A and B are shown apart, each in its own frame.
Chain A
Amino acid sequence: MRVEARPAKTAGSAGGGNGGDRTFPPAEPAHRRSRRAAAREWLTKADVKFSPYAYIAPFFVLFAVFGLFPLGYTFWVSLHDWELVGGREFSGLENYRLILVDASFWNAVYNTIGIFVIATVPQLLIALLLANALNRRMRGSLVYRMGVLAPLITSTLAVAIVFTQLYGRDFGMVNWLLGQVGIDAIDWQAHKWSSWIAIATMVDWRWTGYNALIYLAAMQAIPVDLYEAAEIDGASRWRQFWQLTVPMLRPTIIFTVIISTIGGLQLFVEPLLFGSGQFYGGSLGQFQTVTLYMFENAFRRNDYGYGATVAWMLFLLIVLFSVLNFLIVRRISSTK
């Protein structure tokens, strides 16, 4: 309807319209008219050419101020021996040379990737199964759908505090439950494996529902006749899920993987609070992530130069992972 109405209106105004006669300007000399027309044409052209830039400028201005400038300035700082107390001195790439042989830094990278993997793989799998379950027609589906999202609106801080108590060594509920089935209490902060699991569960508790909802939205866009056809061919529900739903969700899965990667590499609050608010991430850095290591250097040792170097290494790490993601995406789309 609308589409039809618009051309009609345009046609009317182009023809001068009914009320237009009275205000019709007096006849002008031809050359003046053409000059005006040229000016108008130029304006139109300029409008078409430059206005879009003006429209998108707010983003780029904000990005330059809050994204690009800090990025550049951090790099500048990382080229210095820059301490909060005692001044600064240009040192070139010395900080980068140091960080490449810094065992604590690589330990932090190892922890970050380790926690990311053991958090993300189960998280996305559970989200997928959850979305599949929610996709069925059932009573009160809205309640369930909102329910899975509820953890997301809880503050990360609260999640971390509560989970840290649950994982308490002496009086935590997890150890109490393990005690019920005869397993000795675990000092969750003491070992790499236990601290990684504890932190991964915090991440998963908060983000699984979010990913499930994204999957659910994508699932509902899959045409029903595909399932009907599969049913007629005698495919079981399970088979439909793996050979129909999952392949159709590929782009969505890739999206969630990328988002989780970026989030996972920046993991901060959970390990911070799990280690009683210290940047050390455990007595031996069992769960010190790269962001924690950055904070330890910048805000504990007041060594801004080295802290900035860690920040830049983290940036490079994220770029590396994004490129990897991109390559995988390309490969998947070419095998289609």
Chain B
Amino acid sequence: MKYTLRRRQYAGVAAVLAAALATSTACSGDGANEASNDTNTGGTIELTVDTFGNFGYEALFKQYEAAHSNIKIKHRNVVRLDDYTPRLQQWLAAGSGAGDVVALEEGILVQFKNQSDKFANLADHGAGSMQAGFLDWKWELGKTSDGKLMGLGTDIGPLGLCYRTDLFEQAGLPTNRDEVSKLWPDWDGFIETGKKFAAANTGAKFVDGANAQFNTVLIQEAGRDIGHTYFDKDDQLVFDSNPAIKKAFDTVVEINQEGLSANLPSFTPEWSAGFKQGSFATLACPSWMLGIVQDNAGADLAGKWDVAAVPGGGGYWGGSWLAVPEQSKHKAEAAELAKFLTSPESHLAAYLAANTFPSSTKYYQDPVITDRTDAYFNDAPVGKIFGEGASQVKPVYLGSKNQNVRQEVENVLLALGQGELQADQAWQRAIDVAKNAAR
């Protein structure tokens, strides 16, 4: 009892001191310039974290702030990666504006690795010892060719396929996820199922749009033995000669020809509205997509989405790294935060919050992952579905202009879906715009 009292007294004194400190820094802030904040003599440090999509970090930020009273975290989140990248690029080139910790997605990683002088070497901040926890390839990709540790892995994107059980039921298709998985051992099976779905006239389309299917088939095919997509490992454009691209393209063409696509471009407001209005019944789902489905579809559709195996099996899409820009005024603190966010425990916490599948292998065999079900997705055993693919992922090389090419190709796929281009015209145009975007 006495001990508690003393602790309380201490706490009281600490609170008063903290308040006094806060006031004094606030006062000095009026006269002195911002630099007085940076030197951090007892004041708080604000660390800005730039992310896109849904990383599942909110609770971790609170936890970190609670453990480090001098750190305040400002989270800047953008929905679309396509909006995120040019901004980050401009900040880096301008030498100011970027967050203290920034997320780098796999598709833009090479672009920024080519400017590795703009990023801190995290090995200088003691991150080198973390290697053992990670998937080897994830760790290696975080390093530049000259061995600098530029990024610490966050999640990876093993694939599944999300579907609406209620719409499947209306269409007279099986709704049990194991039976559904059996409908599509490959993409042909997927399209056949789509035809049956379309014949039932539920008012919904079978797939959301071209992008997710295209990216999924592309990365699956590329991952089998080719090992690269638009660019080969010498960063040369191989758009018209890589069979993986043609296969992905033909799959999308067929989906369109059968009228199975709602033709909504991913991550746009129309796409979000499509979730709520039930415009489509399936969506290619890397693990991280589950968080995005949940955000967009909202609580009303809880339990109506489910997850089955991805057609064709294997493959992954997406996943990120955290890096600390050289321009950060608090590189040491930022590196600490990045290390915290990429610790095995944080990987797990983020995963439990937003289904961003860990690239840290520590809990792969732990029941917390293997037995994990997701209530929103009709209690689907998401840990098992995505966990099986995770350890077999083979990395695919994405070139330095990957995002530019991808965006242009997605535009062509959109035009194809709009009926503005015929299949052969679209293929020709895709080749042209890819060349243009790669220059």
- Chain A contacts to B: CB under 8 angstroms: 84-85, 168-171, 187, 189-191, 276-278, 280, 283-284, 286, 299-302
Within the assembled complex, what's the spacing in Å between the Cα atoms of A55 and B268?
52
Chain B residue nearest to A165 in the complex (CB): B269
* Chain A positions within 8 Å of B429 at CB level: 284
Q: Please state if B83 and A170 are interface contacts (CB–CB under 8 Å).
A: no
Could you tell me if B414 and A283 are in contact, using CB atoms closer than 8 angstroms? yes
13 contacts between A and B (CB under 8 A): A170-B262, A170-B273, A187-B418, A189-B418, A190-B420, A276-B265, A277-B83, A278-B82, A283-B414, A284-B420, A284-B421, A284-B429, A299-B90
Given contacts A84-B93, A85-B115, contact A283 B418 (CB under 8 A): yes
B86 lies within 8 A of A191 (CB) = no
Q: Is B411 touching A171 in the complex (CB atoms < 8 A)? A: no
The digit string for B62-84, where 1 denotes a CB below 8 A from any CB of A, is 00000000000000000000110
Is the C-beta of B185 less than 8 angstroms from some C-beta in chain A? Answer: no
Interface string of B112-128 (1 = CB under 8 A from A): 00110000000000000
Is the Cβ of B86 less than 8 Å from the Cβ of A299?
yes
Q: Is B412 an interface residue (CB 8 A)?
A: yes
**B277 interface residue per 8 A CB criterion:** yes
Given contacts A283-B411, A299-B90, 10 further A-B contacts (CB under 8 A): A84-B89, A170-B262, A190-B420, A278-B82, A280-B411, A283-B412, A284-B411, A284-B429, A286-B420, A299-B86
Shortest B422–chain A CB gap in Å is: 13
How many Å from the CB of A288 to the closest CB on chain B? 11
Known A-B contacts A170-B274, A284-B420; the reply to A276 vs B268 at CB < 8 A is: yes
Residues of chain A contacted by B274 (CB below 8 angstroms): 170
B22 at the interface (CB under 8 A from A): no
Chain B positions within 8 Å of A190 at CB level? 415, 418-420
A101 to B114, alpha carbons, bound, how many Å? Answer: 31
B273 near A283 (CB under 8 angstroms)? no
Determine how close the nearest CB of chain B comes to the CB of A272; give it in whole angstroms.
12
CA distance A286 to B415 in the complex (A): 10
Q: Are B420 and A85 in contact (CB under 8 A)?
A: no
- Restricting to B79-109, which residues have a CB under 8 Å from any CB of A? 82-83, 86, 89-90, 93
CB distance A170 to B270 under 8 Å?
yes
Which residues in B have their C-beta under 8 angstroms from that of A277?
83
> Chain A contacts of B373 at CB under 8 A?
none
Mark B396-419 against chain A: 1 for CB-CB distance below 8 A, else 0: 000000001001000110110011
Measured CA separation A170–B420 after assembly (Å): 18
Q: Which of B89, B273, B411 contacts A302, CB < 8 Å?
A: B89
- CB closest residue in chain A, given B412: A283
Most buried by B among A170, A283, A284, A299: A283
Distance, CA A191 to CA B274, complexed state (A): 21
Tell me which residues across on chain A come within 8 A of B114, comparing CB atoms: 85
In the complex, residue of chain B having the shortest beta-carbon distance to the beta carbon of A278: B82
B54 interfacial by beta-carbon distance below 8 Å: no
Please, how many angstroms separate the alpha-carbon atoms of A278 and B410 in the complex? 12
Taking CB atoms, residues of chain A closer than 8 Å to B412 are 283
Q: Contact at B273–A171, with CB atoms within 8 Å?
A: yes
Determine whether the beta carbon of A168 is less than 8 Å from that of B270: yes
Chain A CB within 8 A of B279 CB: yes
CB distance from A285 to the nearest CB of B (A): 9
Give the contacting residue for B86; candidates A169, A187, A300; CB below 8 A. Answer: A300
Q: Which 6 A-B pairs have the closest CB atoms?
A: A190-B418, A283-B415, A283-B414, A276-B268, A84-B93, A283-B411
B residues 257-274 near A (Cβ < 8 Å) are 262, 265, 268-270, 273-274
Q: With a CB–CB cut-off of 8 A, which chain B residues contact A187?
A: 418
- By the criterion CB–CB under 8 Å, are B270 and A169 in contact? yes
Closest-CB distance, B343 to chain A (whole angstroms): 32
Which A residues touch B86, using CB under 8 A?
299-300, 302
The answer for the CA separation of A171 and B268 in the assembled complex, in Å, is 15
- Nearest residue, chain B, Cβ from A191: B420
**A278: B residues at CB distance < 8 A:** 82
B263-306 CB mask vs A (1 if < 8 Å, else 0) is 00100111001100101000000000000000000000000000
Least CB separation from B114: chain A residue = A85
Tell me the bound Cα distance from A189 to B273 in angstroms: 16
CA distance A222 to B60 in the complex (A): 72
In the complex, how many angstroms separate the beta carbon of A261 from the nearest chain B beta carbon?
Answer: 30
* Complex Cα gap A85–B93 (Å): 7
Shortest distance from the beta carbon of A260 to any chain B beta carbon, whole Å: 30
The minimal Cβ–Cβ distance linking A117 to chain B, given in whole angstroms, is 22
By a CB distance below 8 angstroms, the chain B residues around A302 are: 86, 89-90, 93
B268's closest neighbor in chain A, by CB?
A276
Within the complex, what minimum Cβ distance (angstroms) separates A298 from chain B?
Answer: 10
CA of A84 to CA of B94 in the docked complex: distance in angstroms? 9
Q: Residues of B contacting A300 with CB < 8 Å?
A: 86, 404
A276–B270 CB distance below 8 A = yes
Measured CA separation A67–B58 after assembly (Å):
45
Alpha-carbon distance between A299 and B87 when the two chains are bound, in angstroms: 9
A163 and B89 CA atoms in complex are apart in Å by 32
A286 to B418, CA, bound (A): 12
Q: Within 8 Å CB of A286, what residues of B?
A: 420
Q: Which listed residue (A84, A168, A189, A284) contacts B90, Cβ 8 A?
A: A84
B420 adjacent to A283 (CB under 8 Å): yes
Q: Distance (Å) between the CB of B360 and the closest chain A CB? A: 31
Closest Cβ of chain B to A270, distance in Å, is 16
Provide the residues of chain A in CB contact with B414, threshold 8 Å.
Answer: 283
- Structural contact, A171 and B89, CB atoms closer than 8 A: no
Chain B residue nearest in CB terms to A84: B93
**Residue in chain A with minimal CB distance to B403:** A300
B265 contact set on A, CB distance < 8 A? 276
What CA separation (Å) do A301 and B411 show in the bound complex?
Answer: 15
Chain B residue numbers with a CB within 8 Å of A301 are 404, 437
Give the docked Cα–Cα distance between A283 and B415 (Å): 5
The B206-264 residues at the A interface (CB cut-off 8 A) are 262
A68 vs B279: C-alpha distance when bound (angstroms): 52
| Cα(A225)–Cα(B82), bound, Å | 64
Q: In the assembled complex, how far is the CB of residue B117 from the closest CB belonging to chain A, in whole angstroms?
A: 11
- List B contacts of A191 (CB < 8 A): 418, 420
**Separation of A277 and B83 alpha carbons in the complex (Å):** 9
Residues of the B chain whose Cβ atoms lie less than 8 Å from the Cβ of A280: 407, 411
Q: Smallest CB-CB separation from B411: which chain A residue?
A: A283
CB neighbours of A189 from chain B (8 A)? 418
